[in-house]
Structure 1
Amino acid sequence: MRITIVSRIYRPEPASASFFLGSVADALLADGNEVDVLTSRLPRGTAPHARGERVRTFPVIRDRNGYVRGYLPYLSFDIPLAFRLLFARRPDAVLVEPPPTTGAVVRVVCAIRRVPYVYDAADIWSDAADMATGSRAVIRILRAVERFAMRGAAHLVTISQGVTDRMRALDIDRPVTVTGFGADTSEFSVTRAPAEQAFVYAGSYSVWHGADVLLQALAELRTTHPAYTLRVIGNGEREALEALARELELDDAVEFFDAVSPAELAPHLAGAVATLATLKPGTGYDYAFTSKAYSSLAAGCPVIFAGPGPTAAFLNDANGRVRAGAAVAYDPAAIAAAMREFADDPLTVPQREALGAWTAAEHSMAAVARRVAAVIEGVAAATRRKALV
Structure 2
Amino acid sequence: MSMRIAIVSRIYRPEPSAASSFLGAVADDAVARGHHVTVLTARPPHGIDVGEPAEDVRMSPVLRDRSGYVRGYLPYLSFDVPLFFRLLFLPRPDVVFMEPPPTTGFVVRVVCTLRRIPYVYDAADVWSDAAQQVTASRLVLRVLRATERFAMRGARAIVTISQGVLDRIATLGISRPVVVTGFGADTTSFLPPTEAEVPTERVFVYAGTYSHWHGAEIIVDGFAAFTVTHPGYVLRFIGNGSEREALEQRARELGVDHAVDFIETIPSADLVPHLHRAVASFATQLPDSGYEYAFATKAYSSMAAGCPVIFVGPEAGPTGAFLHRANAEVRGGIVSTYDAASVAAAMTALATDPLTAPERHRVAAWTAAGHSLAAVAARVVDVLEASGDDAAEHA
Residue 266 (structure 2) pairs with residue 260 (structure 1): yes
- Quote how far apart the aligned CAs of 1:42 are: 2.6
**Residue of structure 2 aligned with 1:197, choices 202, 213, 228:** 202
Residue 296 (structure 2) pairs with residue 290 (structure 1): yes
> What is the RMSD of the two structures over their aligned residues, measured on CA atoms?
1.1
Residue 249 (structure 2) pairs with residue 243 (structure 1): yes
Range 28-37 or range 172-181, more displaced: 172-181
**Residue of structure 1 aligned with 2:178, choices 176, 179, 200:** 176
Cross-structure match for 2:377: 369
Distance in 2 of aligned mates of 1:42 and 1:329: 36
Question: In 2, are the aligned partners of 1:26 and 1:51 still within 8 Å (CA)?
Answer: no
- CA deviation digits over 1:254-308, x for unaligned, max 9? 1111111101100100000111111111112111100000111001111011112
Cross-structure match for 1:104: 106
Residue 215 (structure 2) pairs with residue 210 (structure 1): yes
Structure 2 residue ranges without an equivalent (≥5): none
SS, match of residue 324 in structure 2: helix
- Quote how far apart the aligned CAs of 1:322 are: 1.0
- Quote how far apart the aligned CAs of 1:50 are: 4.2
Range 322-331 or range 188-197, more displaced: 188-197
Give matches, 1:1-389, under 5 Å: 1-191=3-193, 192=195, 193-236=198-241, 237-308=243-314, 309-387=317-395
Distance in 2 of aligned mates of 1:161 and 1:242: 36
Distance in 2 of aligned mates of 1:257 and 1:165: 37
Question: In 1, are the aligned partners of 2:336 and 2:343 still within 8 Å (CA)?
Answer: yes
Question: In 2, are the aligned partners of 1:63 and 1:69 still within 8 Å (CA)?
Answer: yes
SS, match of residue 331 in structure 2: coil
- CA deviation digits over 1:126-152, x for unaligned, max 9? 111111112110000000000000011
Question: In 1, are the aligned partners of 2:6 and 2:40 still within 8 Å (CA)?
Answer: yes
Distance in 2 of aligned mates of 1:291 and 1:19: 11
Distance in 2 of aligned mates of 1:202 and 1:58: 26
Range 215-224 or range 57-66, more displaced: 57-66
Structure 2 residue identity aligned to 1:178: V
- Quote how far apart the aligned CAs of 1:102 are: 0.4
Structure 1 residue identity aligned to 2:254: L
Distance in 2 of aligned mates of 1:44 and 1:221: 37
Structure 2 residue identity aligned to 1:133: T
Question: In 1, are the aligned partners of 2:13 and 2:21 still within 8 Å (CA)?
Answer: yes
TM-score w.r.t. the length of structure 2 is: 0.96
Distance in 2 of aligned mates of 1:106 and 1:248: 46
Range 350-359 or range 377-386, more displaced: 377-386
- Quote how far apart the aligned CAs of 1:40 are: 1.3
SS, match of residue 222 in structure 1: helix
